[in-house]
Structure 1
Amino acid sequence: MADDDFETGDLFQDPEGFYEKDPEPTFAEYEMLSGQTVRVRLVGSHPLYGNLLWNAGRISSTHIEERADELVRDKDVLEIGAAAGVPSIVSAIMGARKVVMTDYHDPDLVSNMQYNADLAADQIPKSDTSRTTAGAHLPESRQKADGFDLLIMADVVYSWREHGNLVKTMQETLKKDPSAVALVIFTPYEPWLLPQTERFFPLAEHGGFTVTKIFEQLVGKVLFEDDPGDEKLRRTVFGYELRWSPEQLSGQT
């Protein structure tokens, strides 16, 4: 038989339905204390759980709304690990001058953050200076500026291997001002790893920050019902404020 008589047909063609379709995006709502509803789109699936609206994000949003005058009004805000970006959107609604949402360098996450920023545009007070942007990294212009007044870090300290990078990010982005603050809010979804998670705080102190625990709040239900470990801890949201230590601010005007 001649070589050109041999046919492989669709040998390398996957049969229809062989792979499961990617889950479709879903929507979630967060009700502000003011009664406004923030509606956000969640990515269909993601290895870093960008398809969920995390408890720490909800509690961060409430805390920001309660202390808007001090934390966000007419201030520059950066959210690290924003996912759907609810705390960022709440900050913008409450009068932040500029809000930047960042997350892991993933096109689906970044485009979804921008989608949610655009979706909330009508709720954000209009001014000549206010702006909400999304990206996988800081715009170059902001990296060279004075820094941000508020860093929102909700559920980003669970990976202790990245603690050093988080401290470095704080050092490079938090404005050198006594009023500038980083909100570190998290839930120990794997309670047995809580001691490793808490290693972040002495590392931050060593990096030039003061650490103050501001609340410990129990939410109504766990986020992952089938997970093992102490249920109470999995329903607890811990909140901390990190500011520059006085030594780091010496000589600042």
Structure 2
Amino acid sequence: MSTEDVDDGGIFLGDMFTEPPRPPTPEPTFSTYERERPDDDDWRKIEIRLVGSHPLWGHYLWNASLAFASYLDDHPELYQGKDVLELGAGGALPGLVSAKNGARHTVLTDYPDRALIDNISYNVGRNIPEEARAAVGVEGYIWGHPVEPLLQLLPDGSGERAYDLIILSDLVFNHSQHNAMLSTCVNALAKTRPATVLVFFTHHRPHFAARDMEFFTKAREQDWVCEEILTRKYPPMFPEDPGEEEVRATVHGWKLTRR
């Protein structure tokens, strides 16, 4: 310990100003997504475990994920027999829907933090039958970094090793990361066959809505075709938050394709 840690009387200051004990980490929570197609007997629900608390917001099942799950369930042609990548997956509900509905291979990624990655792996084990788990990968990944480790997770095939569908669920509020996300999409998405990026989000902070939408401005500047394909209302995630409730209650879904 350095001399700066001791006062003139020789008393260790840490004895006088002890740090209060930290509160225990909250326990994980569970949310259940129930399929909106009760006549389909393939599967009925997906149980999502969420980390108890996390600075990267992985402890919420966002409305955008619910809208995404329903949309993907209604549009299996986007991914059946194809390869799917989810970025910033959190509880990974959209990616799990694609896996359960016949994607060839699904890779679920989030920031390389053990709590987040272990939780995604738990959700895979809870919801994907053992015989199908080899077709689902879980990986830590930072947006904008080289995508080769993600491409190497795909099975060998006769065509281009790349993703046919990339899922971005409630990520555009990360304004400083727009370019990084787009870079990953450019480099990981298939170029020799039709491929799509789906971006679902809510303007949780209505006063920053214009900045959220800069993601699509930047995408168009990089020669992406951007089309809004869905709006859906939910109870707002945080009713006490400021800003127009109608805005905070609406999920927007966008489709991006390369020219």
Normalising by structure 1, report the TM-score. Answer: 0.85
Map of 2:52 onto structure 1:
44
Aligned pair count?
233
Q: What CA distance in whole angstroms lies between the structure 1 residues aligned with 2:94 and 2:248?
A: 21
The one of 104, 107, 116 equivalent to 2:111 is: 104
The yes-or-no answer on 1:151 pairing with 2:159 is: no
Structure 2: which amino acid aligns with 1:51?
H
The yes-or-no answer on 1:58 pairing with 2:61 is: no
The one of 20, 23, 28 equivalent to 1:25 is: 28
Map of 2:4 onto structure 1:
none
**What are the Cα deviations for residues 92-141 of structure 1, in whole angstroms up to 9, with x where unaligned?**
1100110101111211001101111111122x8x56x9611111126626
Provide closer, same or farther for how the CA distance between residues 141 and 232 of structure 1 changes in structure 2, counting only shifts above 3 A: closer
Cα RMSD after superposing both structures: 2.4
The yes-or-no answer on 1:228 pairing with 2:242 is: yes
The yes-or-no answer on 1:176 pairing with 2:177 is: no
The yes-or-no answer on 1:140 pairing with 2:149 is: yes
Partner SS for 1:193 = helix
Map of 2:144 onto structure 1:
none
Identity across aligned pairs (percent)? Answer: 32
Map of 1:160 onto structure 2:
175
Structure 1 unmatched runs, 5+: 1-5, 246-253
Map of 1:239 onto structure 2:
253
Q: What CA distance in whole angstroms lies between the structure 1 residues aligned with 2:170 and 2:192?
A: 25
Partner SS for 2:56 = coil
Q: What CA distance in whole angstroms lies between the structure 2 residues aligned with 1:38 and 1:150?
A: 21
Q: What CA distance in whole angstroms lies between the structure 2 residues aligned with 1:197 and 1:78?
A: 22
The yes-or-no answer on 1:215 pairing with 2:230 is: yes
Partner SS for 2:121 = helix
- Displacement over 4 Å in runs of 4+: 10-15
Structure 2 unmatched runs, 5+: 1-9, 39-43, 142-146, 154-159
